[in-house]
Amino acid sequence: MRQANICGDNLAFDAVIVGGGPAGSTIGTLLARNGLAVAIFERERFPRFHIGESLLPANVPIFDRLGCHDAIRQAGFTVKPGVTLYDEHEGRACKSFTFPPLPFQPASAYNVVRAEFDDLLLRHAEQVGASVYREHVVKQMHRESDKVTLQVQVPDGHLHEVQASLLIDASGRATFATQAIGTREPLPGLGKVAIFAHFRGMKQEREVPEGNIRLYLVPQGWLWRIPFAHGVGSVGGVLHAQVVKARSGSINALFEEILAASPHLTDALASAQRLTPVHTAANFSYRVSPFVADRYVAIGDASGFIDPVFSTGVFLAMRSAELAASDILRAFAAQDFSARRFRRYSRRLRRGTRVFLPFIERFYEPAFLDLLFTPVPPWQLDKPVLWVLSGAAFEHRPLWVHLGLNMFFGIMHMRRAVRRFRGQSAASRRSW
Ligand code: FAD
């Protein structure tokens, strides 16, 4: 693949996309396929390490629509049939959940090595006609009534000016354009810190389906293990802010300490070697407002990020790109790039994302975990919950799912009261 450099190229495009992650590649593919002149500027040299490796079943039909599912299958990513929870805080043992097969999505997702996955998606965008500029950093933007102008730093350090009718911010947690256009606020109670790395040589637990993501609840927060092929996997922890504040040692020492908090994970890692440096991320839960404006649309993490616990990030990044693409194509047809053209996208993204929020808030509550760990859930209430956690409820919320969720949260409320009555802890650990 040609390594594009903007020196010598045409410096005017219909749309310029800042960021070549899943959101940027998805929208680049869709707009280029519909005949727009699109440039994707990505500051990193690909392939590059990225966190966010466990996908949802709702991601899979997007691969079909983009036309890259065969390439994803051929890449040999591990199939993820479900999730296994280990409670090593209150000692509720281990429970596995399997995604349901639905008419519009399969009963499984993939665990992906993001370096390979993001590279594959970006190459796909290039193959369908997007101009992709790697190691090009978008430095500044200026919106005018008839165009957007960007300053782009090329690999030799020089700055070039690029113009477009529309700017799409897909810059992830960098939220490139937020300072110029709106605000970014942290989500209350979710000021967590994550520490993570890849390992080789992890042991397979006998009681757990091979591709399941494992979540381990420990007093300091929660840990994950995302299995890739050949005993390689991603391991990390999301820590309560108070745990991090109380520590003064190195990040590596803290990482070892929290891994040791889980006997199951410690056992799985007994003969494993770390493959990557230990990475960290902080303050990753935030809201961006507004995420559409005149000649401007933000998608993926650049439009906000809720929490990593239910692996929603890549799905929301790619689905937001699809929803935005549909409004953007209409805006080009009408040659009208005012904010109101993108309001339908903004409404649909807000509505779809809202369904995950009660789960993220309640994940930190013991009463929620009581219900999840019930061996036989009353009235099969695990079904509407899995419907949401597979990503299906972003768009499809039949009445039984709606009623089931109300009932689930109603029972959880009662369970909370029972805990208090018995003198057990009922307090949420979300803001710890
Ligand atoms: P990104 O993937 O971050 O891509 C943005 C791109 O923009 C980057 O490549 C960056 O280099 C580029 N860029 C930034 N600024 C500029 C600039 N000025 N010029 C040019 N390029 C620029 N999601 C899941 O689905 N599953 C998980 O298991 C999961 N686990 C997570 C665990 C943690 C601890 C965290 C913090 C997040 C997790 N996520 C997970 C979320 C996931 O990482 C993101 O939601 C996802 O990567 C968003 O994709 P994106 O394309 O919006 O942004």
Q: What's the rounded mean pLDDT across residues 214-237? A: 94
**Atom of ligand 1 at shortest range from CA of 24:** 51
Q: Residue 19: CB within 6 Å of ligand 1?
A: yes
Q: To which residue do tokens 């009681």 refer?
A: 207
CA distance 272 to 200: 5
Q: Which CATH superfamily is domain 10-51+113-185+287-353 in?
A: FAD/NAD(P)-binding domain (3.50.50.60)
Mean pLDDT score across all residues of the chain: 93
CA distance 160 to 182: 25
**What is the percentage of the chain residues whose pLDDT exceeds 90?**
79
Reported as half-sphere exposure (CB side, CA atoms, 13 A), residue 165 has a value of: 16
Q: Which mutation among 117, 171, 306 tests ligand 1's pocket best, with the greatest number of atoms within 8 A of CB?
A: 171
pLDDT of 9 reads 57
Q: Read off the amino acid at residue 357.
A: L
**Atom of ligand 1 at shortest range from CA of 139:** 18
CA of 414 to the centre of ligand 1 (A): 38
222 within 8 A of 369, measured Cβ to Cβ: no
Domain residue spans of the chain: 10-51+113-185+287-353, 79-111+192-281, 357-421
227 within 8 A of 211, measured Cβ to Cβ: yes
Q: To which residue do tokens 């002149």 refer?
A: 37
Question: Cα torsion for 79, 84, 88, 91, to the nearest 10°?
Answer: -160
Q: What's the rounded mean pLDDT across residues 179-187? A: 88
Per-residue pLDDT at 344 exceeds 60: yes
CA of 418 to the centre of ligand 1 (A): 40
DSSP 241-290: HHHHHT--S-HHHHHHHHHHT-HHHHHHTTT-EE-SPPEEEES--EEEE-
- The closest residue, in CA terms, to atom 34 on ligand 1 is 194
pLDDT band at 379 (very low <50, low <70, confident <90, very high): confident
pLDDT of 78 reads 96
Q: Which mutation among 27, 314, 319, 363 tests ligand 1's pocket best, with the greatest number of atoms within 8 A of CB?
A: 314
Q: What's the rounded mean pLDDT across residues 129-135? A: 98
Q: Averaging pLDDT over each range in 113-117, 203-207, 226-230, 242-246, which range is the top one?
A: 113-117
Phi, psi of 168 (to 5 degrees): -115, 115
- The closest residue, in CA terms, to atom 41 on ligand 1 is 313
Q: Residue 51: CB within 6 Å of ligand 1?
A: yes
Residue 164 belongs to what H/E stretch? Answer: strand 159-169
Per-residue pLDDT at 272 exceeds 50: yes
Tokens of residue 191, six digits: 């000021």
pLDDT of 282 reads 87
Q: Which mutation among 51, 193, 255 tests ligand 1's pocket best, with the greatest number of atoms within 8 A of CB?
A: 51
CATH of domain 79-111+192-281: 3.30.9.100
| Each residue's pLDDT tens digit, 28-67 | 999 999 999 999 999 999 999 999 999 999 999 999 999 9
Q: What's the rounded mean pLDDT across residues 259-285? A: 94
Per-residue pLDDT at 376 exceeds 90: no
CA of 213 to the centre of ligand 1 (A): 19
The length of the chain is: 432
Q: What's the rounded mean pLDDT across residues 253-261? A: 94
Tokens of residue 135, six digits: 């190691």
Cβ-based neighbour number of residue 329 at 10 Å: 15
Q: Residue 28: CB within 6 Å of ligand 1?
A: no
pLDDT of 10 reads 56
**Atom of ligand 1 at shortest range from CA of 313:** 45
Q: Residue 313: CB within 6 Å of ligand 1?
A: yes
Q: What's the rounded mean pLDDT across residues 99-114? A: 96
pLDDT of 11 reads 86
180 within 8 A of 291, measured Cβ to Cβ: no
Q: Residue 18: CB within 6 Å of ligand 1?
A: yes
pLDDT band at 180 (very low <50, low <70, confident <90, very high): confident
Q: What's the rounded mean pLDDT across residues 417-426? A: 92
pLDDT of 32 reads 98
Per-residue pLDDT at 7 exceeds 80: no
Q: Residue 137: CB within 6 Å of ligand 1?
A: yes
Q: Which mutation among 42, 49, 291 tests ligand 1's pocket best, with the greatest number of atoms within 8 A of CB?
A: 42
Distances in whole angstroms, Cα of residue 217 to Cα of each of 223, 227, 278, 324, 375: 7, 18, 20, 36, 18
pLDDT of 1 reads 44
